[in-house]
């Protein structure tokens, strides 16, 4: 009886924490767009993204909690697992390292110069937004629906189709990006495949969340505001090569059983 009471209290605590994080994400996103980003059609899109995605996630959390009591939203890929710590660290470094390699190639090849001039204007707001956006995108594109489809249709071909569709949707969602073109679309699609594979191999969203954050932060903060290297990172052939290589690396990760990560 005492165990059930403790378990129920922990369940309520997790609910409160999860809802609080989503609500704060919306307000932090609004803050980042209002005070940290140039107010144009792209930032308006980011603002609408927050207004739409966060309420939808809140609603889906309530629905999932009601119809799937044995598998709560707060344990679906976001519970911590010490066994996966090394893989989380590895993917975090992959995100930063992939962009850093592209920056070095851009400078060495003469495609871009560099300026050692730290510009701290809006850095905090941009960092908050990037973390917020990465977490929300992973919950939307690699979250409950994606995970349950992969479990229900578990053959290799079926999972490949689900991964492909989710990756296309992920790429299309970046249509309002300032540098959107065919190569950018392909690279974001490849990134979607990579991020989806991170979950499929580990049953854990932390790998894709940490990769997503460090990739974006290194590209949009470190090489924009700390060391300024102006380069179309995600619109380059080099980005395609790096993402394909990282996809191959992720396929070598040991597959983790979903029951071990919750």
* Nearest residue to 61 via CA among 162, 133, 140: 140
Whether pTM > 0.85 for this model: the answer is: no
**Residue 75 pLDDT > 90:** no
Model confidence band, residue 260 (pLDDT cutoffs 50, 70, 90): very low
pLDDT of residue 130: 83
pLDDT average, residue stretch 107-126: 79
Which backbone phi and psi does 43 adopt, to 5 degrees?
-70, -30
Is 165 within the bounds of a domain? yes
Handedness of CA 88, 93, 98, 103 (dihedral sign): positive
Cα dist from 241 to 71, 96, 191, 235, whole Å: 38, 16, 11, 12
Split at pLDDT 50, 70, 90, the class of 147 is confident
Q: How confident is the model at residue 9 (pLDDT cuts 50, 70, 90)?
A: very low
In a domain, 262, yes or no: no
Beta-bridge mates of residue 115: 228
- pLDDT band at residue 226 under the 50/70/90 scheme: confident
Mean per-residue pLDDT for 158-173? Answer: 91
Q: Round to whole Å and give the CA distance between 19 and 223.
A: 33
CA nearest to 167, candidates 255, 219, 243, 242: 243
CB atoms within 10 A of CB 114: 15
Buried b (16+ CB within 10 A) or exposed e, 29-62: bbbbbeebbeeeeebeebbebbeebbeebeebbe
CB 142 within 8 A of CB 199: yes
Instruction: Identify the CA nearest to 204 among candidates 59, 89, 65, 57.
Output: 89
Which residue in 196, 124, 192, 195 sits closest to 159, CA to CA? 196
For 196-214, what is the mean pLDDT? Answer: 92
Please provide the DSSP assignment of 200-256 as one string.
HHHS-THHHHHHHHHHHHIIIIIIIIISB----GGGSHHHHHHHHHHHHHHHTSPPP
**Percentage of the chain modeled with pLDDT above 70:** 66
Kindly report the length of the chain.
262
- Domain presence at residue 121: yes
> Which of 137, 142, 160 has its CA nearest to residue 205?
142
Considering its fold, how many domains does the chain have in total?
A: 1
Rounded CA-CA distance 169/182 in Å is 15
Instruction: Give CA–CA dist 147/143, Å, rounded.
Output: 6
Q: Residue 165 is part of which domain span?
A: 2-257
pLDDT band for position 197 (cuts 50, 70, 90) = very high
């Amino acid at each position: 009886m005492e165990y059930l009471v403790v378990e129920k209290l922990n369940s309520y605590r997790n609910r409160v924490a999860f809802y609080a994080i989503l609500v704060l994400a919306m307000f932090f996103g609004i803050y980042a767009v209002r005070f940290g980003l140039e107010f144009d059609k792209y930032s308006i899109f980011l603002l609408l993204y927050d207004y739409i995605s966060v309420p939808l996630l809140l609603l889906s959390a309530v629905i999932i909690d009601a119809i799937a009591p044995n598998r709560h939203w707060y344990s679906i890929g976001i519970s911590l697992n010490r066994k996966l710590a090394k893989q989380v660290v590895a993917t975090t470094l992959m995100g930063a390292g992939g962009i850093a390699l592209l920056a070095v190639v851009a400078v060495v090849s003469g495609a871009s110069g560099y300026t050692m001039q730290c510009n701290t204007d809006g850095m905090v707001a941009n960092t908050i937004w990037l973390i917020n956006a990465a977490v929300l995108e992973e919950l939307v594109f690699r979250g409950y629906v994606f995970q349950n489809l992969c479990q229900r249709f578990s053959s290799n071909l079926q999972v490949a189709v689900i991964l492909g569709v989710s990756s296309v949707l992920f790429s299309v969602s970046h249509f309002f990006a300032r540098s959107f073109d065919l190569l950018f679309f392909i690279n974001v699609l490849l990134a979607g495949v990579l991020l989806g594979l991170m979950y499929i191999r580990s049953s854990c969203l932390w790998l894709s969340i940490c990769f997503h954050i460090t990739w974006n932060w290194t590209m949009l903060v470190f090489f924009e505001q700390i060391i300024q290297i102006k380069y179309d990172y995600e619109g380059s052939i080099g980005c395609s090569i790096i993402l394909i290589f990282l996809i191959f690396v992720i396929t070598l990760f040991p597959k983790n059983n979903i029951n071990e990560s919750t």
